[in-house]
Amino acid sequence: MAAQGTDFFVNDHARRAVRRGVMLLVLVCCLPFFSERSVEANVEEFLAKGHGLSISREPEVFLLNALENVQRERLDQAQILLEDLIRDNPDFRLAHLVYADVLAARAGTLRGLGAGVVPDEELAGLEDEVRRRWLYYQQRPNGALLPSSLVALGESEPYALVVDLELSRMYVLANTRGGLRIVDDYYVSGGKEGPEKHREGDRRTPLGVYFIQEHIPGNRLPSLYGWGAFTLDYPNPLDRRLGKTGHGIWLHGNPTGTFSRPPQDSDGCVTMHNKDLEALAPLLGHGNVPVIIARQVDWADPGDLAMTREEKFGMLEAWRLDWESLDSDAYLKHYSREFRSGSQNYSAWARHKRRVNAGKEEIRVQLANVNLFAYPEAPGIMVATFTQDYWSDNYQSTSRKRQFWKHEADGQWRIIYEGTY
């Protein structure tokens, strides 16, 4: 959708509306004009391309249609939409507030969004929620683009979640026969202090690549967590390497009886509508679903992603072949001098691997279910996870492995961390 940005504040249409006192609601929220196509028309196009429909999307569309009608001075139509909306969703706090303001505008008494009704701190959060919901429908990706962080999803990984904290959106991507595609998205809230988490209690949401660990039902949690929670593996090995602390970062529901929270309202977790989380739960139940949390999602053409994917698969294949060769020097060239895993640094790792290889006559290594992720906010870091089948003349094992690769100053990618998970 085309947006007119700050032109909204200066065109004659807006000036006339402000003089009549009926457009302050939209001015306060700093919302650019929609294009000629309505919110509803754009959503229908979105769904026609094969996307799912979240439980909370229809109420969101009603709200944005109402705001569009306010913008176009059709307050009677906005009122009808909002009355239907709050009747069906009595816990939608933001919708009640906008409805009250529309009534005030029709009576000629509007003094600004929630003026005199809502405390300033709460009002700021509600204004931010309006703005981010509105901007999402203007900036959402077309069906051809994919998150650039999601380079490859293994054959046994049916879904991945990608969170855009600036737009307060979480995208669900399915691993289909035809490749990755977005199948749904949801409004979500993050930490009160925004990104990026560094220490225990800073009320910030981490940025990175994480994996769902377990589901905790709501009946085992305080009402703050609503329907329930899915725990994430923050801090991951890279977080710990960078000295980040904290724990208990989850994807969980909103407090019982709450439709939505302001964009920055949690203690660091990602939160969402309870019915949306319940509907999403069957996709997450097997665990290890990747969750990429970014400040802002970068979108890429699938062709460009395919080139990156082939390059990184080649990188992994070279590592695998050099391991099988029993040439310790060739194998260790894939490891950075900055390598650390548990208590082992590069020197300790190299000594260990040379000693192990000296006792082998043959090694065979196979990789399956390979996932590749470009790390958010760190363009020189790549995460690889895979199932590793290892066979030698005196030892066999199957394990789930995770590696962090770094693009170093000489242009080579090398492993800075390796371990099972």
Whether pLDDT at 362 is above 70: yes
pLDDT (mean) for 110-125: 69
Alpha-carbon gap, residue 313 to 372, rounded angstroms = 9
Beta-carbon contacts of 38 under 8 Å, excluding residues fewer than 6 positions away, are 65, 68
Alpha-carbon gap, residue 223 to 302, rounded angstroms = 41
Query: Which ranges in 201-273 belong to alpha helices (H)?
Result: 237-241
User: In 3D, which of 190, 87, 64, 156 has the Cα closest to residue 370?
Assistant: 156
Whether pLDDT at 30 is above 70: no
Q: Which range has the worst mean pLDDT, 106-120, 157-171, 183-197, 235-249?
A: 106-120
Q: What percent of the chain has pLDDT over 90?
A: 68
pLDDT (mean) for 129-144: 86
- E strands, 133-178, where? 146-147, 150-152, 159-164, 169-176
Bridge-based pairing state of the strands 179-191 and 264-266: parallel
pLDDT (mean) for 309-338: 97
- Could you give the 3-state DSSP secondary structure of residue 39? helix
* Range with top average pLDDT, 52-61, 115-124, 167-176: 167-176
Alpha-carbon gap, residue 142 to 297, rounded angstroms = 13
End-to-end CA distance of the chain: 43
Supply the pLDDT for residue 143: 75
Question: Is residue 320 within 8 Å of 397, Cβ to Cβ?
Answer: no
Question: Is residue 204 within 8 Å of 174, Cβ to Cβ?
Answer: no
pLDDT digits (tens, 9 = 90+) for 143-177: 789 999 999 999 888 999 999 999 999 999 999 88
Alpha-carbon gap, residue 70 to 80, rounded angstroms = 12
Supply the pLDDT for residue 233: 96
Q: Please, which pLDDT band fits residue 32 given cuts at 50, 70 and 90?
A: low
Alpha-carbon gap, residue 386 to 419, rounded angstroms = 11
Q: How remote is the C-alpha of 58 from its chain's centroid?
A: 21
Supply the pLDDT for residue 114: 54
Q: Please, which pLDDT band fits residue 71 given cuts at 50, 70 and 90?
A: confident
Q: What percent of the chain has pLDDT over 70?
A: 85
Q: Please, which pLDDT band fits residue 25 given cuts at 50, 70 and 90?
A: low
- What is the overall mean pLDDT for the chain? 86
pLDDT (mean) for 238-266: 96
CA dihedral 95, 98, 104, 110 (to 10 degrees): 160
pLDDT digits (tens, 9 = 90+) for 167-216: 999 999 999 888 898 989 999 999 999 999 999 999 999 999 999 999 99
**In the chain, what are the domains?**
56-139 (no CATH), 146-300 (2.40.440.10), 302-420 (3.10.450.50)
Q: Which range has the worst mean pLDDT, 2-16, 84-98, 195-209?
A: 2-16
Alpha-carbon gap, residue 286 to 160, rounded angstroms = 12
* CA–CA distances in Å: residue 370 to residues 3, 88, 285, 340, 367: 40, 44, 20, 22, 7
Count of CB atoms situated within 10 Å of the CB of 346 = 18
Alpha-carbon gap, residue 287 to 312, rounded angstroms = 25
In the chain, the amino acid numbered 151 is V
User: In 3D, which of 282, 286, 277, 308 has the Cα closest to residue 150?
Assistant: 308
pTM for the model stands at: 0.87
DSSP state string for 354-405? HHHHHT-S-EEEEEEEEEEEEPTT-TTEEEEEEEEEEEETTEEEEEEEEEEE
